[in-house]
């Protein structure tokens, strides 16, 4: 795998969620994603950025444009130092929510991308990495 470009931006306040979406849109366009794939990636980024801000107490979004086996992808990682997810199985159940949302954040984001990785532990924060390929 080759990293063509990369960067980091904060996700701490509502405006950062908007900026995360805008960044994801621009990067997806730069990768040559079709509109449907771009929309899926931006939607997943929106959900995960909001989770990082609301449940993780803020964190960072790391992004990479990657090339592997002749294809290009956009990989984005959200990381925070928040309380972590105490019951991962429950959190990955459609319809479950720890707040007032629809309960589609994590599971919805997972369905919208090609690759989804989640690493969390109580008291150790959360790290979610998503990838969408062109």
Q: What is the pLDDT of residue 102?
A: 47
pTM over 0.75: yes
Count structural domains, the chain.
1
Q: What is the pLDDT of residues 33-92, one digit of tens each?
A: 999 999 999 999 999 999 999 999 999 999 999 999 999 999 999 999 999 988 888 878
Given a cut of 80, is residue 95 above it in pLDDT?
Answer: no
Q: Residue 18 sits in which domain range?
A: 2-133
Q: Average pLDDT of 20-33?
A: 97
CATH number of the domain encompassing residue 15: 3.30.565.10
Distance CA 104, CA 34 (A): 24
């Amino acid at each position: 795998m080759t990293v063509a470009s990369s960067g980091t931006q904060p996700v701490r306040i509502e405006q950062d969620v908007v900026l995360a979406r805008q960044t994801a849109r621009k990067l997806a366009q730069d990768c040559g994603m079709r509109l449907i794939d771009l929309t899926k990636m931006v939607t997943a980024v929106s959900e995960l950025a909001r989770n990082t801000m609301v449940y993780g107490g803020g964190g960072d979004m790391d992004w990479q444009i990657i090339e592997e086996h002749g294809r290009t992808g956009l990989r984005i990682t959200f990381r925070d130092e928040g309380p972590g997810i105490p019951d991962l199985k429950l959190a990955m159940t459609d319809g479950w929510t720890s707040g007032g949302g629809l309960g589609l954040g994590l599971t919805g984001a997972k369905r919208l991308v090609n690759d989804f990785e989640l690493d969390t532990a109580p008291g150790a924060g959360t790290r979610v990495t998503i990838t969408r390929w062109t």
